[in-house]
Amino acid sequence: MTLTLNKENYLRLLKETKIIPKIIETEEEYREYLAVTENLMAKKNQRTLEETTLFRLLVRLVEDYEEKFFNLGDWSDLPPHEILQHLVESSGMTENDLQEVISSDGELIGNLLNGQLAISFEQAQKLGTYFKVSPSLFCPS
């Protein structure tokens, strides 16, 4: 059985989210699209077909923008803590937000961000999932 996208519901969803799906060209658009994407992601298995359709499109647009402006391939020579610092700053996160991502205390977060402690394999996995990047970026080679 194939489900059919309801155009009226999809257009209503676009109106509610105030998103006009297009190529992301500015940091402001990126943050707007990312916020809607994260809200839809939080719904997990509760999304409607229209929400899932918009979610998949926004993920692609966000990934395209990140690939263009956050070319992670050029980061291979950077220490893991500098990569983490950049991702935290560019996403507008706080240290408290980062605590929630890797389930750690504030002192540990500060030590990870300034490079005093190495990022563990488990932390790298959580960071990779959260930022949608390879965990290997956070593990020294």
User: Mean pLDDT in each 10-residue stretch from start to end of the chain (141 residues)?
Assistant: 86 95 91 90 89 92 81 72 87 85 82 90 88 79 52
Q: Which domain holds residue 110?
A: 72-138
Q: What pLDDT is attached to residue 57?
A: 94
Question: Is the Cβ–Cβ distance between 36 and 58 less than 8 Å?
Answer: yes
Given phi > 0 = left and psi -120 to 50 = alpha, else beta, which region is 139? beta
Q: What's the CA gap between 41 and 26, in Å, rounded? A: 22
**Pair (65, 49) in one structural domain:** yes
3-class SS at 104? coil
* Per-residue pLDDT, 131: 84
Is 2 a member of any domain? no
Helix (H) or strand (E) holding 35, with range, is helix 27-42
Residues 104 and 123 in one domain: yes
pLDDT at 14: 96
